[in-house]
Amino acid sequence: MKKNFKLLTVLLIAVAFLITLSLPFSADLGDYSGSSDYGDWGSSSDYSSSYDYDSDYSVIPFISGGGGDFGIVILIVVAVIIYIMIKNKKSGGSTGPVAPGATGVDRSTLKPMSALKEADPMFSDANFKEKLSNLYVQMQNCCTAKDIEPLRPYLTDNLYNQFNRQIEMLKQTNRTNRIDRIAVLDVELLGYTSDSVNTTVYAQLKTRITDYIIDDKTGAVVSGSNTAEKFMVYEWALIRSEGKKTDASVESKVVNCPNCGAPVNLNHTARCEYCGTVIASSDFDWTLTSVKGISQRTSG
């Protein structure tokens, strides 16, 4: 009985390892780039699988000694996984499932940007698009540097923590997510919503990157490609406290820390250098609160 249990345990570990190998890598800041194209650039599908193993017996006794349908199921599962991996290897295709693109905001629910400019005359579409383009490039460079503290003034707490978990995982595994050949091809302002608390602007960014992960010790590429270009489409949501207006005359925003009163330059940090308090920069300027990966197309 114990021998059979050990055999089954080894089998389960092997199957888990095969499943792990079949998963796509995710990269770029926020894990929106992957090993499979998705969204509007091509077909996409949901992927979900579950494997339940409740027996204390090994596979071989089940198949040859009356294990019945359960043993056959295990054999089929293992055979299918091995077949998929061999087929993908021969075809040169991705070993991972095709990831579906995220669903963008319902544009019919958005107010036109012209209405925002009526309420905020100093708001400039061109300046806002340039700001988003520069932020995107900065985000990817910070990802490669494994230091996203410079992004603190431009991200909400939740988004900052999400990105920071990715960076910490890279540090723990001694890997670096290299993002090169960064280009923002287009920025479209889709519209905005508002309530009693915040105004939220939605934008679509189309970009090009090369995106891969290297081992810090060897420099070897362990995921992705340093030559294949990925054409990405993202949807960003940025918030600002309702009623705030654009102050085009002030390039650097200096506010007082609500905890200790020290001056804080929000263009450089959202954390007070004296007491460590994090300041909600959305009270003063636009802050990125959500990023969605809408689609990906890989070329080369």
Higher-scoring residue by pLDDT: 30, 13: 30
The CATH number linked to 161 is 3.10.450.240
In a domain, 99, yes or no: no
Determine the pLDDT at residue 39. 86
Structural domain total, the chain: 2
Residues 75 and 216 in one domain: no
Residues 148 and 284 in one domain: yes
Residues 12 and 145 in one domain: no
- Taking the C-alpha atoms of residue 82 and residue 295, their distance in angstroms, rounded to an integer, is 29
Nearest to 70 by CA among 82, 83, 56, 53: 53
In a domain, 202, yes or no: yes
Residues 134 and 228 in one domain: yes
Residues 111 and 222 in one domain: yes
- Taking the C-alpha atoms of residue 248 and residue 120, their distance in angstroms, rounded to an integer, is 11
Residue 5's contacts (CB-CB under 8 Å, 6 or more residues apart) are 56, 57, 58
Tokens of 39: 């969204």
In a domain, 247, yes or no: yes
Average pLDDT of the segment spanning 252-257: 59
How many angstroms separate the Cα of 106 from the Cα of each of 109, 111, 193, 251, 280? 6, 11, 11, 34, 27
Determine the pLDDT at residue 27. 74
Residues 80 and 138 in one domain: no
Strands (E), 71-220: 175-194, 198-215
Question: Cα-flanking dihedrals φ and ψ of residue 3, to 5°?
Answer: -65, -45
Residues 66 and 198 in one domain: no
277 pLDDT band, cuts 50/70/90, is low
Nearest to 109 by CA among 37, 223, 194: 194
Q: 29-81 pLDDT, tens per residue?
A: 888 888 888 986 543 333 222 323 333 333 333 333 444 454 555 556 556 55
In a domain, 96, yes or no: no
Determine the pLDDT at residue 236. 97
Determine the pLDDT at residue 176. 96
Determine the pLDDT at residue 5. 56
Average pLDDT of the segment spanning 128-150: 95
Q: 174-214 pLDDT, tens per residue?
A: 999 999 999 999 999 999 999 999 999 999 999 999 999 99
In a domain, 181, yes or no: yes
Beta bridge partners, 183, equal: 208
Determine the pLDDT at residue 3. 56
- To the question of pTM greater than 0.85 for the whole model, the response is no
Residue count of the chain, please give it: 300
Higher-scoring residue by pLDDT: 163, 102: 163
Question: Cα-flanking dihedrals φ and ψ of residue 262, to 5°?
Answer: -70, 150
- Taking the C-alpha atoms of residue 185 and residue 175, their distance in angstroms, rounded to an integer, is 28
Residue 110 has pLDDT above 60, yes or no: yes
In a domain, 117, yes or no: yes
Determine the pLDDT at residue 60. 34
Residues 127 and 15 in one domain: no
Determine the pLDDT at residue 30. 83
Can you tell me whether residue 63 is helix, strand or coil? Answer: helix
Nearest-5° Cα angle at 199, 195 to 204: 130
- Taking the C-alpha atoms of residue 162 and residue 147, their distance in angstroms, rounded to an integer, is 13
Residues 56 and 86 in one domain: yes
Residue 261 has pLDDT above 90, yes or no: no
End residue of a domain, out of 91, 125, 142: 91
Query: Domain residues for 13?
Result: 2-30+48-91
Q: 226-250 pLDDT, tens per residue?
A: 999 999 999 999 999 998 998 765 5
Residues 281 and 174 in one domain: yes
The whole-chain average pLDDT of the chain stands at: 75
Which of 18-32, 54-68, 81-95 has the lowest average pLDDT?
54-68
In a domain, 79, yes or no: yes
In a domain, 40, yes or no: no
Sheet with 198-215: strands ordered across: 175-194, 198-215, 221-241, 287-299
Can you tell me whether residue 128 is helix, strand or coil? Answer: helix
Determine the pLDDT at residue 12. 57
Determine the pLDDT at residue 54. 35
Higher-scoring residue by pLDDT: 151, 64: 151
Residues 123 and 11 in one domain: no
Residues 141 and 266 in one domain: yes
